[in-house]
Amino acid sequence: MRTPNRKPGKYSQVKLDPILTEKKFEELENKMERLKKIVQPQAAAEVSRLAELGDFSENAEYQMVKGRLRGINQTILNIENQLKHAEIITPQKYANSVQFGHKVTIANDNKQKTYQILGSSETNPQKGIISRNSPIGAALIGRKINDIIKIKLSGKEIEYKIIKIE
Of all residues in the chain, the percent with pLDDT exceeding 70 is 90
Give the residue extent of every domain in the chain. 19-88, 91-165
Q: What is the pLDDT of residue 120?
A: 86
CATH of 91-165, one of 3.40.50.150, 3.10.50.30, 1.20.1050.10, 3.90.1300.10: 3.10.50.30
**pLDDT reading at 37 higher than 80:** yes
Mean pLDDT of the chain: 86
Distance in angstroms (rounded) separating the CA atoms of residues 30 and 24: 10
- Burial of 111 by CB count in 10 Å (0-12 exposed, 13-18 middle, 19+ buried)? exposed
**pLDDT reading at 8 higher than 70:** no
Q: What is the pLDDT of residue 89?
A: 86
Note the pLDDT tens digit of each residue in 42-51.
999 999 988 8
Note the pLDDT tens digit of each residue in 55-71.
767 778 888 999 999 99
Q: What is the pLDDT of residue 117?
A: 92
Per the confidence metrics, is the pTM higher than 0.85? no
The HSE-up count of residue 102 (CA atoms within 13 Å, CB side) is 26
Distance in angstroms (rounded) separating the CA atoms of residues 128 and 137: 11
CATH class of 19-88: mainly alpha
What mean pLDDT is predicted for residues 116-139? 90
Distance in angstroms (rounded) separating the CA atoms of residues 25 and 36: 17
